[in-house]
Structure 1
Amino acid sequence: MYEKITPPAMGDRITFKDGEPIVPDHPIVPYIRGDGTGIDLWPASQRVFDAAVQAAYGGQRQINWFKVYAGDEACEQYGTYQYLPEDTLTAIREYGVAIKGPLTTPIGGGIRSLNVALRQIHDLYACVRPCKYYDGTPSPHRYPEKLDVIIYRENTEDIYLGIEWKQGSAIADRLIQLLNTDLIPGTPEHGKKQIPLDSGIGIKPISKTGSQRLVRRAIRHALRLPPAKQMVTLVHKGNIMKYTEGAFRDWGYELATTEFREECVTERESWILSNRERTPDLAIAENARKIEPGYDALTPEKQAQICQEVESVLNTIWETHGNGQWKDKIMVNDRIADSIFQQIQTRPDEYSILATMNLNGDYLSDAAAAIVGGLGMGPGANIGDNCAIFEATHGTAPKHAGLDRVNPGSLILSGVMMLEYMGWQEAADLIKKGLGAAIANREVTYDLARLMEPPVEPPLKCSEFADAIIRYFGA
């Protein structure tokens, strides 16, 4: 079955049912050490994972680690340009859940990004990035503790699908000619627009299927959160890109108000319901005027549409959502992408789960991570219906490799996400407790130590930080 790797003799596969993992007590979990600083990060992180599982379950549960290869280490084993060998893809597919350190960007070999390739090959459509502050972590933000969000970023579509053509290539020239001559003039909303002849061309596909399966997973996550955090915000630039980003927003609302009708209320529906609750005999037109800015300046046709919306909401969900019942539902709202970048800084505590397309999510997850301590403290997961890969979110930092000095926090917290995904919450909680206590007691690696006031001297090594986390399990 495998060319150069051998699974552990003991342990069982993780299987899936309806998109959720079924985890045995002794699962086999493939791991990719990672390039560059992965040589330091993985041993430290594995020691923390094993210690937490042992402390939580006393031998009743155990992870059987299965080493597989990707990146530069794979090339050493399999040959030049073999960055992502079939052995590794098969093992991840076979055992369902895997974890990886940082991987290098290949030079040659036809793969733009190993991370993107793994997501697309295994259809890991949801990139999940929690951003939560641990007390004592240096932050450029004045109140970083107010930010506690989980970003659900669509992984397989948008411009990250990577379909583009170089300026001057035959296909780019053909597409520009087709668009300028036949397609753009045939659509009145585009007027006399023309694409410059010296352009590169890329496409931005956003599908209903891809959008709704991401939002579905985000809503299901919201159902597991405490009532105060049950909110899903659809992040988009639909005011400009109406048929891609705007469609993402619309399809998200459609899913929430059909498949999750009993569990969800939209922000706009909540306005309509609360208007009636405050004024039971409020006329439909007055309710419409309250929810729609500039209502009186709208055309009669548009006013009629708003009134029809109000009437429909009251007729269909008043019994199940009215009289304050909507306050116990998951709130689904939407925000323009550029606005949410401001709001996670100025009003971070108003948000919980952010569901977004690929490019917006890429920007947003790094910006949110910066508020709570940077990518060194940013965990990540890539989740599909039959597979999940958990990963460090930072780069390989090769100049630090082998020096035992970098922060393993990102990989360790990604392991926390993996344990939570597996249903091993007790072990996950021990690691979060130990990590938080180590930081609060100023026992940190150099990246955090140099930013603390006063700076910590000397900082801990990577391996020593892992030891500190384990030591604080019982704090």
Structure 2
Amino acid sequence: MPLKLLCLQGDGIGPEIMEATLTVLNSVAPALGQPIELAHADIGFASLEKSGSTITPKVIDAAEAADGVILGPVSHNAYPPREQGGLNPSGVLRKELSLFANHRPASTWSGLEAPTRVPFDLVVMRENLEGFYADRNMHSGSGEFMPDPDTAMALRKITRDASMNIARAAFDLAETRPGKHVTAIHKANVMRVSDGLFLECCREVAADHPQVVYDELLVDAAAAHLVRNPARFDVLVTTNMFGDILSDLASELSGGLGLAGSLNFGHDHAIAQAQHGSAPDIAGQDKANPVSLMLSAEMLLRHLGEGRAADLIRTAVTAALASPETRTGDLGGALGTQAFATHITTIIQEKLQ
């Protein structure tokens, strides 16, 4: 049976980095245990123009039927209001496919100077379906509202089920890593009820994993420790908004969001998604760094049991980033998006031979 992947290129630089990623994906075909069958569908502005919505029920159904999805960046801040079809495809898919975990690794790269002088290798395991995210924490309507013209309010939703799911995912991951250490990030000194429930769930799961070191840290202290000594951390588990902010910080410390892979997953589905935005200012100029989406695709392959092919992508990207001559312009190199993809495939082909 082929491995069925749905490709949603998105907006801005999405088409360019998707093309580069698929070039690399095709190059690892000999290392796969099964052939890949690629399908494509429109989301974002392309879908809005054709169908009146940035993501359609047909695309959601296709994502549910696929073994995995590769999702390009979207320009959702520029979309029209929801009632005019301006849905955030990423948020919609996370909710519709019950993708409760957002797995975001960050590490320094050999030969690539990063803002931090301390080598580190950590993962932020971010809850993905609730928290302060107004577009996904209500069954109907938005979690933000205005009772009068001068007052805006937002609801934060924390549930036991979601907290247990993300805690289990974090501890399961920690068991596979050398550090075997989970840090729960919270603000329970202020949000005693909601973060109190989150921590209760983390402690319950920790009790079932005695071989994993467990501690807790306030989110403001966690940000400070990330800047001072990110090597202190192994796996950070936290709620949606805190995870979004801290994972971006960790990725910038490792060299930039252009290097930041990401995997959204639940019990039945998984989506590879670059951490960064759609960068419309450089769209169509062959300047975009495709590493983030490439590494996200690598994570998806690994999640689907294709570890050998995933290792080839990781090894090739690591080798390319080690030399200034084989990096993209944002990292001081001279290669454009597609030339970088070609270089990665050359390394992969050499490894396969």
TM-score by length of 1: 0.68
Q: Is the 8 A contact 1:376 1:408 kept in 2?
A: yes
Are residue 354 (structure 1) and residue 325 (structure 2) matched? Answer: no
- Pick aligned residue for 1:79 from 48, 51, 65: 51
| Alignment counterpart, residue 445 of structure 1, candidates 328, 338, 343 | 328
CA distance in 1, matches of 2:342, 2:99: 33
Which residue, 97, 111, 119 being the options, matches 2:68?
Answer: 97
Specify the SS of the correspondent of 2:148. coil
1:460 equivalenced with 2:332 (yes/no) = no
1:68 aligns to 2:44 (yes or no): no
C-alpha distance in 1 between matches for 2:147 and 2:253: 38
- Residues 52-67 of structure 1 mapped to structure 2, 5 A cutoff: 52-54=28-30, 56-57=31-32, 60-67=33-40
Letter of the aligned partner of 2:146 in structure 1? K
TM alignment of 1:77-226, pairs within 5 A: 78-80=50-52, 82-105=53-76, 106-110=79-83, 111=86, 113-143=88-118, 145=119, 147-160=120-133, 161=137, 162-168=142-148, 198-226=150-178
Residue 255 of structure 1, CA deviation: 2.5
Does structure 1 conserve the Cα–Cα contact (< 8 Å) formed by 2:54 and 2:87? no
CA contact (8 A) 2:4 2:67 kept: no
Distance across 2 between alignment mates of 1:164 and 1:100? 26
Q: Which residue in 2 is equivalent to 1:399? A: 281
Q: Determine which of 364, 370, 373 is the counterpart of 2:246.
A: 364
CA deviation after TM superposition for structure 1 residue 251, in Å: 1.7
Q: Per-residue deviation at 1:137?
A: 2.6
Match in the other structure for 1:382: 264
Contact 1:212 1:252 in 2 (8 A): yes
**Kept after mapping to 1: 8 A contact 2:103/2:263:** yes
Secondary structure, in 3 states, of the residue corresponding to 1:46? helix
Bigger Cα displacement from structure 2, 100-109 vs 364-373? 100-109
**2:262 aligns to what SS in structure 1?**
strand
Aligned equivalents of 2:223 and 2:280: distance in 1? 31
Q: Is the 8 A contact 1:50 1:62 kept in 2?
A: no
The residue that corresponds to 2:347 in the other structure is 472
Please give the alpha-carbon distance, in whole angstroms, between the structure 2 residues aligned to 1:164 and 1:441. 47
Please give the alpha-carbon distance, in whole angstroms, between the structure 1 residues aligned to 2:147 and 2:262. 34
Q: Distance in 2 between matches of 1:138 and 1:470?
A: 24
Deviation at 1:254, TM superposition (A): 1.6
Contact 1:230–1:331 (8 Å) recurs in 2: yes
Quote the offset at 1:112 in angstroms: 5.2
Identity among equivalent pairs (%): 29
Q: 1:433 corresponds to which residue?
A: 315
1:33 aligns with 2:9: yes
In 2, the alpha carbon distance for the partners of 1:149 and 1:129 equals: 9
Q: Cα RMSD (Å) of the superposition?
A: 1.6
- Following superposition, the deviation at residue 134 of structure 1 comes to 1.6
Q: In structure 2, what is the Cα distance between the partners aligned to 1:404 and 1:361?
A: 31
How far did residue 72 of structure 1 move?
Answer: 1.2
Contact 1:238 1:247 in 2 (8 A): no
Gaps in structure 2 of 5+ consecutive residues: none
Aligned residue pairs: how many?
338
* Structure 1 gap segments, 5+ residues each: 1-11, 13-25, 170-197, 265-328, 450-455
